[in-house]
Structure 1
Amino acid sequence: MALFNRRSESSDGEGRQPVLSRHTEGREPVFDGVEVIEGYAVLRWETAVGGVGLAHNLRDGNGRPQSVISDLYSRHVERTSERYACVVVAQATTQVTEPYVPRLLACDIVGQHAEWSEQYETTWKQLSQVLGTPAPYWYATLRDPETIAAWRPGTPPAVVPACHVTNATTALAELAADEPDGSPAAQLCWGLARKIRRRDHESTTHDIEELRTNAEEGGDGAHLVLGAVPSPLRRAEEEEPSEMVRRAGWLAITERRDILAHRVADLSQQWDGGHDWHTGDFISVQPDTCKTAAEWAQRLMPADRGQAPTVLEKLLLDNARDAVSDELLHDPITGIPALRRKQRWAKDRPEDIFTLGLERLPTLAPLAAVTVSDGVTWIRTEDGQLWFAPARVGYGVSWGYGGTGTATLAQLLDRLLDDISAPAVQPREPDAPQGLFDLLRSTPQSGTTTYTRAQLAAARAA
């Protein structure tokens, strides 16, 4: 249990005893209902030690008692300390000593202006002693706000479809419902929604079984009740759509401008980082670093800022950190957006163009040359077009040292020499020929270096 800060000390200098540890005989605890504030559902009891609130985060599995107190103060102002002596937040994470029991973090309100003690950890047993009854817990996959608001002591567990609060599948279902039957976007959304729901159902069912075992053995889990259990799965497990269908679905969705597409894309980023999107990682280009970068920058066209952003445009705008100003652009060759931005803090690199690479090149023209400059790898094809080297999110390419980035670039060039439309390299794929790796490892990281197709082929054969 953590120590308290100075605000939690009594006027005579003696340490203040945590609210949940105080003697609780006397007033019979009374449940006072539920209030929803800024993403938390707070169940309140009036007890012998004052008002006690048990909060569940409706936006995340975990939460901070201090955040709940601040939100309560915004609603109740000076009356906050009259209504609450202590706030407890149920966590999705588990107790260290009992791995199948959810943690409880608490803070006591100690002043007239919603001042609080330092956060401390408590137990379900201790909380139940203060409340006079086992407290309810909702797994993060079962936190339906209306269900929590309707709870009363003695209420049997509600039956709720399992869906984690951070992975709400509503947008997937709504987007799929508006699509033509069998469209790649519809197949993708239904498949992902069912996959998420099944995973959440299975994980929650497992956790409940472990919690019940803990309770039967006399652990801390014996001192809580479940607010909800997952409803049965009524559909047999199916194979997910093929990779071709998934990629076609995301290609269609990422070009859309509506809010449903944005919500579905946000869920995808949380779920797997956009694994099946046609785009790769973010790329920053300074046009004045080399002729190749300047050539690419000159072909960009202004985007139409008079309409809502596409999914990819919004992704760039959301991730353009520290940008003072920006100009949305469009690459007519790849269809990928770009963002000309000025940085607030990077005075030595005041302006760049922020964009996304592709996971494979949409061309059949053979590779003619590769240029590396200022952290960017450029591919020139025989038809004269210029492309970023394909790379997956979190698995980029590099040169000038003997590490993973150089090995990945060598693997990529090895396959692009044979098939320009080959996909970006994934982890644990076969190594490239040693000669190609050695060429890239010895390439200076500074300045600009270009290798022709003949030079790359010679290195590969060495």
Structure 2
Amino acid sequence: MTYQPERELNLTYDPQRGWFDFVLYSETPKLWGAALNATQQLRDSSRYTQEWIGRLQDTEPTPLHMALVSNDDAPRLWSSCVFDDPESQSAVAGDGCLCLTTFYDPLTWMPVVKQHYRTVTGNIETWTYWTFSPLSLPEGQVLERLIIDQDAGVMWLRNDRGELYFLPEKTGAGYSVGYGGGGPGKFAAMIEKIVASDGHDVTPDTSQVTANRHLTDWTSSPVSDRTRELSLAQLRTLRATGTAPA
């Protein structure tokens, strides 16, 4: 499903009555999807997360924002930060805060929720971002660089236009590196798929993909456990030799 805020989704919330109403217009896709979008949580900063955060656009809450939070937390999508209103529903004793702010990513139109956590007196204060991974790149776009962002614990890609995206991921099948396990295995299979398609296919269904042994050995090795960018040419070399050129 694709959507645009304030066009296909119309949402109302009545705090007195305690429920939400919305109307969603959608069109049946031509093909069934192979997966549901995985949720991404960004708490630790990196230069890539800062680039992504910098392009986010403010928006009013939509039903897709509600899908990122619990039913109990959903009303706070409409309440102010303690810095703006010390009496807000999200304020704690006039100084702490549990507010939620809504955005969207203008490249993917995915909903984004920023969670502000502040203890009274502010000795602990954090901001966490929640969103969904895409399931592919827009039609006609190609992966140019694969990014392992160990500072933030996220896998990214940069397309042939220089734009940054989360590496497409499906629910329950996340990627990781540096140890023997399912996450590194999924990542190796994704690299195999990327190399085989020359960067055109980044859809996250790798159930029919068998990764080259060089890739599985590398993704499960400590040598892969650092922030780095890999071009398509470097990924091809990695698959062929088991070594990622500098």
Q: Report the TM-score when normalising by structure 2.
A: 0.67
User: What is aligned with 1:257?
Assistant: 10
User: What is aligned with 1:335?
Assistant: 109
Shift of 1:407: 1.0
Asked if the contact 1:251/1:277 (under 8 Å) is kept, the reply is no
Asked if the contact 1:367/1:382 (under 8 Å) is kept, the reply is yes
1:416 alignment partner, SS class? helix
- Alpha-carbon distance between aligned partners in 2 of 1:406 and 1:378, rounded to the nearest angstrom: 15
Instruction: List runs of 5+ in structure 2 lacking aligned partners.
Output: 12-20, 27-31, 75-89, 91-96, 242-246
2:37 alignment partner, SS class? strand
Identity %: 24
Cα RMSD between the aligned structures? 3.3
- The counterpart of 2:214, out of the listed 435, 443, 446, is 435
Instruction: Summarize the Cα distance change of 1:351–1:446 in structure 2 as closer, same or farther, 3 Å threshold.
Output: farther
Asked if the contact 1:415/1:422 (under 8 Å) is kept, the reply is yes
- The counterpart of 2:187, out of the listed 409, 423, 429, is 409
Please list the CA deviations of residues 45-83 of structure 1 after superposition, one character each: whole Å capped at 9, or x if unmatched. xxxxxxxxxxxxxxxxxxxxxxxxxxxxxxxxxxxxxxx
User: What is aligned with 2:39?
Assistant: 282
1:181-192 equivalence runs, <5 A = none
Shift of 1:434: 1.5
Please list the CA deviations of residues 164-221 of structure 1 after superposition, one character each: whole Å capped at 9, or x if unmatched. xxxxxxxxxxxxxxxxxxxxxxxxxxxxxxxxxxxxxxxxxxxxxxxxxxxxxxxxxx
Aligned partner letter, 1:310: T
- Alpha-carbon distance between aligned partners in 2 of 1:392 and 1:425, rounded to the nearest angstrom: 8
- Is 1:452 the counterpart of 2:226 in the alignment? no
User: What is aligned with 1:361?
Assistant: 137
User: What is aligned with 2:15?
Assistant: none
User: What is aligned with 1:294?
Assistant: 50
Larger RCO, structures 1/2 (Cα 8 Å, 6+ apart): 2
Higher helix share goes to which structure? 1
- Is 1:372 the counterpart of 2:125 in the alignment? no
User: What is aligned with 2:99?
Assistant: 325
Aligned partner letter, 2:40: I
Shift of 1:367: 1.6
Asked if the contact 2:177/2:187 (under 8 Å) is kept, the reply is yes
Aligned partner letter, 1:439: W
Determine which structure has more spread, i.e. the larger CA radius of gyration: 1
Please list the CA deviations of residues 126-179 of structure 1 after superposition, one character each: whole Å capped at 9, or x if unmatched. xxxxxxxxxxxxxxxxxxxxxxxxxxxxxxxxxxxxxxxxxxxxxxxxxxxxxx
Number of positions where the alignment pairs a residue of Structure 1 with one of Structure 2: 195
- Alpha-carbon distance between aligned partners in 2 of 1:368 and 1:396, rounded to the nearest angstrom: 21
Instruction: Summarize the Cα distance change of 1:440–1:337 in structure 2 as closer, same or farther, 3 Å threshold.
Output: same
Shift of 1:416: 2.4
Instruction: Summarize the Cα distance change of 1:444–1:315 in structure 2 as closer, same or farther, 3 Å threshold.
Output: farther
- Alpha-carbon distance between aligned partners in 2 of 1:414 and 1:406, rounded to the nearest angstrom: 12
Instruction: List runs of 5+ in structure 1 lacking aligned partners.
Output: 1-249, 265-274
Q: Report the TM-score when normalising by structure 1.
A: 0.37
Aligned partner letter, 1:311: P
- Alpha-carbon distance between aligned partners in 2 of 1:359 and 1:292, rounded to the nearest angstrom: 19
Shift of 1:363: 4.2
Asked if the contact 1:290/1:448 (under 8 Å) is kept, the reply is no
Instruction: Summarize the Cα distance change of 1:453–1:445 in structure 2 as closer, same or farther, 3 Å threshold.
Output: closer
2:190 alignment partner, SS class? helix
Please list the CA deviations of residues 392-427 of structure 1 after superposition, one character each: whole Å capped at 9, or x if unmatched. 11111111112111111111122223143442125x
